[in-house]
Amino acid sequence: MGVRFERIVTIVLDSVGIGELPDASRYGDEGSDTLGNIARRVTLHLPALRHLGLDRLVPALGHSGGVPAGAWGRMAEASAGKDSVTGHWEMAGIVLERAFPTFPDGFPPEVMDAFTRGIGRPAIGNVVASGTEVIERFGAEHLRTGAPIVYTSADSVFQIAAHEGVVPVPELYRWCEVAYEIVGKGMGVGRVIARPFVGELGAFERTSNRHDYALEPPVPTVLDHLTDAGHPVVAIGKIKDLFAGRGVTRHLATASDDEGMDRVEEAMRDVPRGLIWANLVDFDALYGHRNNVGGYARNLERFDARLADLLPQLRRTDLLVVTADHGNDPTTPSTDHSREYVPLLAVGALVAAGVSLGTRETFADLGQTMADNFGVAPLPRGTSFLEALGSSSLVRPTA
């Protein structure tokens, strides 16, 4: 008999990869090792993550010699692609055979024409660039004309930046809905993202009013199966957006990773069973995409301190999983996501210490484990590691 947990708390450290995948060269990501390369540049103080076995996965951290408190391993991405939608969908059971379309030369004229007709004004930009770069590059023209700044990246995204003092946030959201009909539903682009900012020329800052418009998953995910069976699913941060709201019973918005951990603790106090799934996006948005090695390192240490505070709050029948959705190595010239393994750290009173979960062939193993644990319909892909967690205790979820 495998363990069965009343509640699973999953925390995704957005972009905290741990080394290039075998097919990284197909994506131009040779040498990417987000956490390892940071550790080679900066001495990292991560006692809580080490306690869970992270040092077994990242040699650059140095092996502490202790027995990990729970189970540890890594997951390979089976889907084509390396973005957040792809990674999270795969964790929930969907393995994409083809990556979402990308636009390395910007969007075609016919797409931009349809978009500008839809919003009733011209747009500027239509470049491949980082968000901070485009608002500095096109910010003055935007302030003068009110034209939205459109840009993309190596990911399948149509992003729209606008100053909150020029374009009210609800209007920016409406423009994103127009774009979603054109490039999302019409072309299969993974996400349309609202990127509001504030401030003066030379001192622009993006705000927490970002909003993602993602495609709906093409088939039911483990979230759908859980909610259909009456299990609570609490989505923290951008989880709800990544699944277009599907399979979510409660959404808790966040403005920072620290606030994300506050919301995790809040949900753990309020929701005694089911799934709590959080995404901590600052690793990616504030540090990976900006090649900010020092900032990334400090955010890792801030999370580690919050993790140390969280661990004693786990109930006996809880399972805590810490993982990631892709890489974004700030030490490389690229500011894009990178094709990497992600950590898989699992801990709880019913998890045996020092269990190696090895290298999982797909992120879908996590979703299959969730499905197995809660006794819902199995997913089409993935292998459950529930029994591999090593305890013979069985705890049935309460009704």
Angle at 270 between CA 367 and CA 398, to 5 degrees: 60
The predicted pLDDT at position 366 comes to: 98
Closest alpha carbon to 236 in 201, 206, 271, 280: 280
- CA 348 vs. chain centroid, Å, equals 23
Closest alpha carbon to 168 in 192, 138, 198: 198
Domain segments of the chain as ranges: 7-99+216-389, 109-214
Confidence of residue 397 (pLDDT cuts 50, 70, 90): very low
The H or E element containing residue 265 is helix 257-270
The predicted pLDDT at position 123 comes to: 98
Confidence of residue 213 (pLDDT cuts 50, 70, 90): very high
pLDDT per residue as tens digits for the range 53-92: 999 999 999 987 889 999 999 999 999 999 999 999 999 9
Q: For domain 7-99+216-389, say whether CATH 3.40.720.10 is its number.
A: yes
What are the two backbone dihedrals, phi and then psi, of residue 323, each rounded to the nearest 5 degrees?
A: -150, -165
Q: Please say if the pLDDT value at position 44 is more than 80.
A: yes
The predicted pLDDT at position 348 comes to: 97
Instruction: Express as a percent the part of the chain with pLDDT over 90.
Output: 91
What are the two backbone dihedrals, phi and then psi, of residue 130, each rounded to the nearest 5 degrees?
A: -80, 160
Q: Please say if the pLDDT value at position 391 is more than 80.
A: no
Question: Where is pLDDT greater, at 146 or 66?
Answer: 146
| Angle between helix 293-310 and helix 34-41 axes, rounded to 10 deg | 110
Confidence of residue 186 (pLDDT cuts 50, 70, 90): very high
Q: Spell 84-105 as b/e; 16+ CB within 10 A means b.
A: bbbbbbbbbbbbbeebbebbee
Pairing, β 191-198 against β 157-163: parallel
The predicted pLDDT at position 16 comes to: 98
pLDDT per residue as tens digits for the range 279-288: 999 999 999 9
Contact (Cβ atoms closer than 8 angstroms) between residue 226 and residue 374: yes
pLDDT per residue as tens digits for the range 334-362: 999 999 999 999 999 999 999 999 999 99
Confidence of residue 31 (pLDDT cuts 50, 70, 90): very high
Q: Please say if the pLDDT value at position 393 is more than 70.
A: no
pLDDT per residue as tens digits for the range 304-318: 999 999 999 999 999
pTM of the model: 0.89
Summarize the annotated binding site for Mn(2+) as residue ranges. Answer: 14, 284, 289, 325-326, 337
pLDDT, mean over the chain: 94
Q: Please say if the pLDDT value at position 19 is more than 90.
A: yes
Closest alpha carbon to 288 in 335, 237, 338, 339: 335
Length of the chain: 399
Q: Please say if the pLDDT value at position 233 is more than 80.
A: yes
Confidence of residue 40 (pLDDT cuts 50, 70, 90): very high
CATH entry, 109-214, from 3.30.720.210, 3.30.70.1250, 3.90.1150.10, 3.40.47.10: 3.30.70.1250
Summarize the annotated binding site as residue ranges. Answer: 14, 284, 289, 325-326, 337
- With residues binned 3-state (H G I as helix, E B as strand, rest as coil), the percentages for the chain, rounded to 5, are 35, 20, 45
Q: Please say if the pLDDT value at position 3 is more than 80.
A: no
